[in-house]
Amino acid sequence: SHKHKLDFRKSKDMCLSYIQDAMLQKQWKRAAEFLTFYIESLEKDFSTEHTGPSEIIWRIGTEILCHCSHSNMKEFNSFIEQMKTLGVKRYLKVCLEHAFHLLCNGQTDEAYQSLCLAESWRFGEQTTAQDKELKLIQAYRGLLDYYNWSKQKNALLEYDKDGFEDISVEQEMHNSFRKAALSLKEIIQIPGVWDLFVQCYVDLLEFYGDHEEARQVLSEYAYNSKFPANPNAHVYLYQFLKRHGEPRKSLISVLKILHDIVPSHELMIDFHAMLQKSKKRKKRRLGLEVIFAALDYAGWKENVKAWSCLARQVKQIIISDKHLEWIKQEWNSRKDWWPAFHFSRYLAKRNWQENESLAYEKALVAGIILGKDCKYFKYVSHQGYKDQKKKFRTLKKFVNKHSPVYLRISG
Amino acid sequence: EDYHEHCAQCSEVNWGLTDGGRFYCRTCHNVTERTREFVNSAVTLNTRIQTISKGLRKQEKNDEGWEWYVCEGFQFVLTKQAEALEVLGVCPQMKDEILCNFWRRYLQKSQQAYCNRPAGESIKVLSGCESSTDMDSEPERPSLLHLLPLSESDGDPLTDCSFGSSTGKVSESTSVCSGSVDGSLHFRKNQKDKLRMSMPMTLSFCYMALLWLRESMTLSDLLRFVVEGHIPYLNVFQCFPEKMKLYGLDLKIFCVESWPVYEEVHDKMLHLAAFLELPRFPDITDSCFLHPDMLCMKYLMEANLPDELHNWTCRVVKKIHIGEADFLTFVPENKSTRKVKYDVLAAAVIVVVLKLLFLLDDNYEWLLSDFAEERNKNNKEDGPYFEFKKWYKVIKNSLDMEQRKMDEERAKCLWRCEKPLFYSAKKKSKALKRRQIVVNLQHQFGKLSGSRQSAEKPNPSSFQLNWSEENTEGSCFHGHSLKGILQEKCGLLTAMNPDYWLCTVKLCTEKFCGHLAHYRDLDFPASYHFVLRLFSFLLRIQPSYIHEEVCAIEHKLFNKKLYKKPKYSTGQRK
């Protein structure tokens, strides 16, 4: 007979499931209605589960207020204020999410104030217990400082154009810079994914000419093994180095890592171009590998540039008659599936219809590697021939001329 | 117990009652002139409360409020409940005489345990926490009190408080424990056999009084009215006078966190009646509402079943002698006979009749229904034959809808009221703050939902489901005929159905497991389960209770054949 003692709890659990059902079906009014009946569970907090009623009410209430058409920011803010008082252990988290919400609604100033206020909150051992949230709050506050700095900077530039000067704005700008730089630097020292923060910090450093620090920061972010593997880190470093005219060698070494992590990255084309320009055989060999690897991915199937890169390199190799084995090596692991993946008759038709340049490049590659009798080449060159396109006549001639090559490749 | 004067002779405070109703000092046997007012039988509950309160007020009035005893609280509750019942149509006699007398008798019988200092016994010092854990083992009881920090049990609350002391002033440390004077005593173990008063037991009192008067209200009706809010139960302490402050352990006594359960209220009533040594209750005859013939008629109507079935219920009732006054009437002293639950009994009789006529094996009833349907198609002039299938569809729709409504209502149940509760003065401000937040949030989201504020109570009605013959959809089956399933044999109408299956071949021993039979819906035909579900909804009890009663009836009905027959018995049933 313990069962009947828990009717209060049972009815609140039932109420909660009605709320959840309503939310899943986007029936916000109904969810709000049931929430009103759930709210009194704050007063009898019997829950032994991890998520107590106050957290549930906070999260559900936020969702409902976001979606209910006739609620407004004022109501939302007053709701959040009450949520803050409800759970001291959650205080900073609520503040942080509130700030996000304000940002999403374009209320940057309010968000900034809220973050500043939260930053100065102290509550005995809770302050240390909520250390993570505090750091995040500082970080986002720093981000908003950057945003302010950016605005002030642009304002100054405008004045400058018009020949005006404004000392106060300039001072504010430097203030914002200092605050932003401090916070941003803090947060990116903690292992994690801080793309936005890193970019902003680097932007600040570059503006004030501290390239050395910027490079240091980006290298750390990309190469420190404590940080999670993040392709973007390498991209940022590459872009920075490129901006500052670093030699191709360092650019290549950065992109090499990117290629290892994300062979399908869009920068692979740039990488390939750089590698092709190199005098070193190894680099050009790598280039072939890179371009083949990129085209392994479905997202690249219709990338004309990529195909043209591959086509060009293949053509070069054929003409020079050197390093045919490179193609053979690359083709070896692909011969079983590339034909169906890229060079089917269906794709020939489609490519021809949609994008002649694409068809052209692909036909060249197909013709060389699969031979002039392959479906793809035959179809495309025939179409091109019919349309009397000179390009395709040249292509046909070229492939025919080098047709025995494919035997050596696929043999 | 509410008399704290020092004895003139020995200065002790140790009072008892003489036969004449006067206070006498147990220590030195000095008799006073002071009498207990409630011995006067003409006094109504209300005046009695006032007298006691007046008495207290004369003694002690501080700003904290009156001193009040737990039993006074319950007295209030009972008064309010009786008044509510009167509004529902119960005769005033119930409140003014019957309930009043029962309660008085209870106080008398149990006051021995409530008194100051039973001779020879020294007061045990109890800390607040000790008494709170001293309950019947309820390991998971979600109580306000498990949050009582141990520090609040500092000091000896009882030596300072109440009975022993001459001033009777409630000290600081007691006020932490409970607003009532004896709240912390309420859960002392040795009071168990004295039938400790509780909120569910107030309903046992009410039901007992209703039964005595043979009112037209079954226990399931009573409990339903409680859930629907027509009878004070949840947050009933709101009607306590301002000065009767309620907190701490009082909450555990008076704050209800779940709805009353039929079995519990019924069992408590049986114990109570025996404890009070009540005589045989007034006879339940066939003109009483509680008589199975009457209740069957009511339930048949509510279940939208043909009126003709009533003949059959009466026949079953007669055959197994459950319509006799001796069987139906409540005799508290008689511990051996199984006590009758009138509503469950009537429902079970109907279920048995349905089984007799329709077999309910998930096959035969549909066959019969098809025949009836055929006949109804071809013959539209004479009255329709009852079609089980049609009835099933109609009832299922209604039942599902009503069940859904009820589930939503339960989910929307508000357990708290405006009167904020807190279990100690320290927690008061936090509790008030919380209440404010709750009210604000309710207001905010209430506006958003655009919903009407708190649900209006549904009008109290005896019938939950109503079926009208005027309904042109033809969804009322009262007038339908059973001709299709009956045949005449030897001048008597019998069912065409030759078979019957017993719910159970052997009944359990109630002493061991508390029940005669157990129910698992998977073990039984779906039609049977459906019928149980219907009455389970109407009576607001678990299907297993009805099933149990069905088993009991079947065993009476087929008593002679039972030990001979296998589980699926064929044979005559009359």
Q: For A48, which residue in chain B has the nearest alpha carbon?
A: B142
Evaluate whether B79 touches B94 at the Cβ level (below 8 Å). Answer: no
Instruction: Delimit the domains of chain B by residue range.
Output: 1-36, 68-111+195-278, 292-391+478-558
What distance in Å separates the CA atoms of residue A370 and residue A363, rounded to the nearest whole number? Answer: 10
Tens of pLDDT along A140-199?
A: 999 999 999 999 999 888 888 777 777 888 888 999 999 999 999 999 999 999 999 999
Please give the pLDDT value at position A44: 66
Label residue B417 exposed, middle or buried (CB < 10 Å: 0-12, 13-18, 19+): middle
Distance in Å, alpha carbon of A39 to nearest chain B alpha carbon: 6
Does any CB of chain A come closer than 8 Å to the CB of residue B428?
no
* Model pLDDT for residues A73-119, shown as the tens digit of each residue: 888 889 999 998 888 888 999 999 999 999 988 889 999 999 999 99
- Burial readout B183-219 (b: 16 or more C-beta within 10 A, e: otherwise): bbbbbbeeeeebbbbbbbbbbbbbbbbbbbbbbbbbb
Numbered residues of chain A with Cβ closer than 8 Å to any chain B Cβ: 1-2, 4-11, 14-15, 17-18, 28-37, 39-40, 42-44, 46, 57, 61, 64-65, 68, 70-71, 75, 78-79, 82, 85-86
Tens digit of each residue's pLDDT (9 = 90 or more) over A211-256:
999 999 999 999 999 999 999 999 999 999 999 999 999 999 999 9
Pick the more confident residue, B193 or B426: B426
- How far does A51 lie from chain B, in Å, by closest CA? 17
Residue B348 in contact with residue B546, Cβ under 8 Å?
A: yes
Q: Which residues of A fall within a CB distance of 8 Å from B411? A: 11, 14-15, 17-18, 34, 37
Greater pLDDT, B53 or B184? B184
The whole-model pTM stands at 0.72
Decide: residue B573, CB within 10 A, 0-12 exposed, 13-18 middle, 19+ buried: buried
| pLDDT tens, residue by residue, B285-342 | 989 999 999 999 999 999 999 999 999 999 999 999 999 999 999 999 887 777 899 9
* Cα gap B267→A368, rounded to integer Å: 94
Using left for φ > 0, alpha for ψ between -120 and 50, and beta otherwise, residue A104 falls in: alpha
Who has greater pLDDT, B550 or B18? B550
Q: Please give, rounded to a whole number of angstroms, the shortest distance from the CA of A33 to a CA of chain B.
A: 5
Q: What is the mean pLDDT of chain B?
A: 76
pLDDT digits (tens, 9 = 90+) for B369-380: 999 999 989 888
CB nearest to B410's CB, from A5, A14, A75: A14
Residue B322's pLDDT is: 92
- CA-based angle A83:A89:A95, to the nearest 5? 50
**B183 close to B176: Cβ distance less than 8 angstroms:** no
Q: Identify the burial level of A272 via C-beta atoms within 10 angstroms of its C-beta, where 0-12 means exposed, 13-18 middle and 19 or more buried.
A: buried
Weakest-pLDDT range from A58-67, A309-318, B173-182: B173-182
pLDDT at residue B81 in the model: 94
Interface confidence: ipTM more than 0.90: no
Residue of B142, B410, B435 lying closest to A46 (CB–CB): B142
How many Cβ contacts (< 8 angstroms) between chains A and B?
115
pLDDT digits (tens, 9 = 90+) for B440-492: 999 988 888 876 555 566 677 888 888 877 766 668 888 888 887 887 777 77
Q: Which residue has the tokens 């199937």?
A: A301
The rounded Cα A155 to chain-centroid distance in angstroms is 30
Coil vs helix vs strand at B392: helix
Q: Do A2 and B138 touch (CB under 8 A)?
A: yes
pLDDT at B123 over 80: no
Residue B112 scores a pLDDT above 80: no
The residue among A262 and B510 whose pLDDT is bigger is A262
Residue of B nearest to A1 (CA): B264
> Distance between terminal CA atoms of chain B?
61
What would the 3-class secondary structure string for A295-325 be?
CCCHHHCCCHHHHHHHHHHHHHHHHHCCCHH
**Minimal CA separation from B549 to chain A, in Å:** 20
Mean predicted lDDT score pLDDT of chain A: 89
How much of chain B exceeds pLDDT 90, in percent?
36
Share of chain A above pLDDT 70, in %: 95
Lowest mean pLDDT among A96-105, B40-49, B422-431: B40-49
Cβ distance of B438 and A37 shorter than 8 Å: no
Helix boundaries (H) for A39-72: 53-67
Pairwise pLDDT comparison (B239 vs A112), residue with the higher score: A112
Amino acid B169: pLDDT: 32
B416 pLDDT more than 70? yes
Query: What is the dihedral angle through the alpha carbons of A366, A369, A372, A377, rounded to the nearest 10 degrees?
Result: 0
Are A43 and B408 a contacting pair at CB < 8 A?
Answer: no
Task: Report the residue of chain B nearest A37, measured CA to CA.
Answer: B412
Decide which of B508 and B437 is more confident.
B437
Q: For residues B516 and B508, is the Cβ–Cβ distance under 8 A?
A: yes
Chain A residues with CB under 8 Å of B442 CB are 36, 39-40
Distance from the Cα of residue A121 to its chain's centroid: 33
Determine the pLDDT at residue B458. Answer: 67
How do residues A55-82 score in pLDDT, each as one tens digit?
Answer: 899 999 999 998 886 668 888 889 999 9
Distance, CA of A188 to CA of A201 (rounded, Å): 9
Task: Give Dmax (Cα) for chain A.
Answer: 92
**Which residues of chain A have a CB within 8 Å of the CB of B264?**
1, 4
Going through B46-132 in order, the beta strands assigned E by DSSP cover: none
The answer to whether the beta carbons of residues A34 and A18 sit under 8 Å apart is yes
